[in-house]
Amino acid sequence: MVILTSPSFHGLSGHLEEQIKLIHGFDIPVMVDEAHGVHTHFSPLLPKDALQSGADAVIQSTHKTLSGFTQCSWMHIQGHRVSASRIQAALRILQTTSPSYILLLSLEGAMAQMATDGPEKLTRSLELTARMKEQLNRDTPLKFLELDELPLQHVAGQDLGKLYLRTAPFGLSGFQAANLLRLHGLEPELADSGGVLLMLTLADDEEHFIAIEAALREFAKTLDPSADAFPLLTEAPWAALQPNLALTPREAWYSEKELTPFDQAIGRVCAETITVYPPGVPVLLPGEVIEVEILDYLMQVKKYGGNIVCDNHTLQTITVIKE
């Protein structure tokens, strides 16, 4: 089985239909993680969804862009390549025998909404988003990510409800901009070194858009178009992607531990999980050797105001295996 992800958190989708056709040519099933695209089926203004693109199995998070409560997801299966009985058997191994009927009811509610007035509300929200962006592009210096700026050999579509506001050209990191936007009553969906992601959904009506546009116009007045561009954060180092594992996570968990100053941790064996968000992928796990490139990257993230989840969020110390 091949597992693909589409769309991305930022609402970008690849050439999914072509990819699936290629994989099916080898009679290999395709499962798509469509966590951020559960709504794409319901509006002609959005890219084609994974089921329409021919995926055999699709997993969607209804709590991201529909009205399902947090934790709610569902799976769709079509065709002959994926066995529903095997999926059910696997779920019986993993899932609880005491499911939350509150969550199940919220899934039913999300389905009922999309079977009635949900699609109309979604399309109206997308139309309002496009109009708002057009007006802001015309009247303010705000810079939103556009599809034609992206490498089209990799990106085929864009969710109009996801607005990535680029703030680095104005000398602001996305983390700094997020704090400023909160002063204007806006809570970004995501911030990174280059900008912030704003998300509009079928729950946003005309009244919401008036308030959002007014807040963005006020935020735009604080920007300096002549400022030096904010340097973008480099990607996670290769050492974090291909870790040097000295102990298994289990061995590290049961080993004796100690704290060491951050700048003295090079070469030590990590005993905690250190994660940078976004993207929410661990940079260090228990049992991995701490490389200098990883420490440099973590310091850069801290300097930029990024979110680091670890034992000591100040990064003054790291939990390591006692020598």
Run of H or E including 90: helix 84-94
> Pairing state of beta strands 30-33 and 57-61?
parallel
Averaged pLDDT score across all residues of the chain: 93
pLDDT tens digits for 221-256?
999 999 988 888 777 776 667 889 999 999 999 999
Listed by start position, the domains of the chain span 2-114, 118-221, 238-321
CATH number of 118-221: 3.90.1150.150
Distance CA(291)–CA(281), nearest Å, equals: 17
- Summarize the confidence of residues 135-162 as an average pLDDT: 91
Name the residue type at position 51. Answer: L
Give the C-alpha distances (Å, rounded to integers) separating 121 from 32, 34, 66, 133, 157. 26, 21, 11, 18, 21
pLDDT score, position 240:
67
Give the C-alpha distances (Å, rounded to integers) separating 309 from 64, 75, 257, 314. 22, 30, 19, 10
pTM of the model: 0.87
Pick the CATH number of 2-114 from 3.40.1190.10, 3.40.640.10, 3.60.15.10, 3.90.650.10: 3.40.640.10
Quick check: 148 pLDDT over 90?
Answer: no
238-321 and 118-221 share a CATH fold = no
Question: Three-state SS for 34?
Answer: coil
Superfamily classification of domain 238-321: Orn/Lys/Arg decarboxylase, C-terminal domain (3.90.100.10)
Residue reference for tokens 């969607």? 60
Peptide bond preceding 282 in cis form (omega within 30 of 0): no
**Lowest pLDDT segment from 108-112, 184-188, 299-303:** 299-303
Residue reference for tokens 């806006």? 186
- Please, are residues 30 and 4 in contact by the beta-carbon 8 Å criterion? yes
Distance CA(65)–CA(61), nearest Å, equals: 8
- Summarize the confidence of residues 57-77 as an average pLDDT: 96
- Please, are residues 230 and 167 in contact by the beta-carbon 8 Å criterion? yes
pLDDT score, position 262:
94
CB atoms within 10 A of CB 45: 16
Chain centroid to Cα 311, Å, comes to 23
